[in-house]
Amino acid sequence: PFLIFLHALPAGPQIVVSVYGPDVFGNDVVRGYGAVHVPIEPGRHIRTLPMFVPESTSRLQKFTSWFTGRRPEFTDPRVVAQGEGREVTRVRSQGFVTISFNVV
């Protein structure tokens, strides 16, 4: 069972998807983040979001994350939607999520 949180941002018609699920120890950890612009023309639109997860930058941080069961995650969903500051964030690709929009 996975939890999916949708965050609508006021800065523009964009949806941020945060997916959480259990790890091998039963802790809820982030499985992926993704963002997509909401289409504004009427009709049905299907969008595929590439998902990513933040990674620790050093071996010590990776070991500490594994040992404590706490992986790196973003606290603010706006970080995912904005490109600012993401060039210094290490992330790993983590699959895809497909969203269907019905715009009236």
Query: What residue segments make up the domains of the chain, in order of their start?
Result: 2-64+89-103
pLDDT of residue 85: 61
Distance between CA 88 and CA 91 in Å, rounded? 9
User: 8: pLDDT confidence band, cut at 50, 70 and 90?
Assistant: low
Question: Looking at the predicted structure, is the pLDDT value of residue 45 above 70?
Answer: yes
Q: Considering only CA atoms, which of 85, 75, 95, 100 is closest in space to residue 34? A: 95
Distance between CA 19 and CA 5 in Å, rounded? 6
